[in-house]
Chains A and B, each alone.
Chain A
Amino acid sequence: MKKIQRRDKMKIYGDLLMILRAESGNEKIVITRIQMKINVPFTRLKKYLSDLAELGLIEDEESLKVTEKGKQYLDEYEAVLAFMKRMGMSYK
């Protein structure tokens, strides 16, 4: 059986924001689809979403739209991940 790697909270936040940004093109963001993509239990996903809303990275837990601050964070996050890859460092 393939072992699923445990992720750090910061990595989950980053992945979640990336998924939400990718989903923002759709008319409605379906939470179950997000849950399937992020691969965490529903109760924990709700907790992460409430954390993101509290940090001002998404508008609220209902609309799940990524705010300007969230987009800026995501740009920085992606740039740093790309930089780490170039530096030969993996983020597991």
Chain B
Amino acid sequence: MYYDELRSIIEIISAVICFILLRFMIKPYLVTREGRYIGLPLGFGFLGVSYVISAIAYAQPNFVEGDLKWFQLLFRGFSFVFLAVAYYFSKKPSKNTRIFWDITFSGLFVGLTALALLYFIAPQITLDNYWTINLFVRATGIVCLSYIFVHCIREHIKEAEPTSIWVATAYALLGISQYSTLVWVVDKSYFAFWGSLAVRLMGLAVFLYVTYHSFYQLKKKRQQP
């Protein structure tokens, strides 16, 4: 009982941070009006939704494994894919790749919807293979986050922007969190499990700090005479 409550609280905190971040992550898209940046808010939005689903699942006293967890897994997996795709297209000149990012994001949406519907059409597939799919989703998350981490490090070396190393660190922390969850799924190590939650919160907190620094501290500096 105590575990479920604690877990719900952690999930709610993670979801709140994600939705705060979403408000700022949408700005690049709103200012540039370029579809390739939509992956950033969608990624953090879906991540937030996955935490909300987790919180609901753990708040249920008679929580049945698999019911809500399927959607949680789906949204979490796709959130990292959306983020990775956004980073991939960000380094390409917009004029040449517009059609590709439109097709990719549409394809991802269709994939997400189809897999969500799979739960209603053939629930036995999703429930019977839950642990295998869980492993696959976590591994996909690690691959996507590793790609983003390398991308951020490269940009950091190129641009020499001191704060960008924090973003790379945040993605690395999210990746470690996914890896720890993977260890927990395979090994049932509680150290890995609680470690993954702690590292995830740290990663999201770093994102929050970078966002605050970008939009509020700089604004304050500018307003000073």
Contacts and interface: CB of A to CB of B under 8 A. Distances in A.
A87 B215 contact: no
A88 interface: yes
Contacts of A10: 31-34
Given A8-B32, A80-B27, A87 B167 contact: yes
A71 to B, nearest CB: 11
Interface string A5-22: 110101100100000000
A88 B152 contact: yes
A86 B161 contact: yes
B27 A83 contact: yes
B151 A88 contact: yes
A2 B34 CA distance: 25
Interface in A70-92: 75-77, 79-80, 82-92
Interface residues of B, number: 37
Interface residues of A, number: 22
A83 B24 contact: yes
A90 B90 contact: yes
Given A10-B33, A76-B31, A80-B27, A86 B164 contact: yes
A6 B31 CA distance: 18
A76 B222 CA distance: 12
Interface in B27-43: 27-28, 31-34, 37, 40
Interface in B170-225: 210-211, 213-215, 218-219, 222
B7 interface: no
A46 B170 CA distance: 44
B95 to A, nearest CB: 4
Interface in B74-129: 86-87, 90-95
Given A89-B87, A90-B90, A79 B215 contact: yes
A79 to B, nearest CB: 6
A81 to B, nearest CB: 8
15 contacts: A8-B95, A75-B219, A76-B31, A79-B218, A82-B218, A83-B27, A83-B214, A83-B215, A88-B152, A88-B164, A89-B28, A89-B87, A90-B90, A91-B90, A92-B91
Given A76-B31, A86-B163, A88-B155, 19 more contacts: A6-B95, A10-B31, A10-B33, A75-B219, A75-B222, A80-B28, A82-B218, A84-B28, A85-B159, A85-B161, A85-B164, A86-B214, A88-B148, A88-B151, A88-B168, A90-B91, A91-B32, A91-B90, A92-B92
Interface of B: 24, 27-28, 31-34, 37, 40, 86-87, 90-95, 148, 151-152, 155-156, 159, 161, 163-164, 166-168, 210-211, 213-215, 218-219, 222
Interface of A: 5-6, 8, 10-11, 14, 75-77, 79-80, 82-92
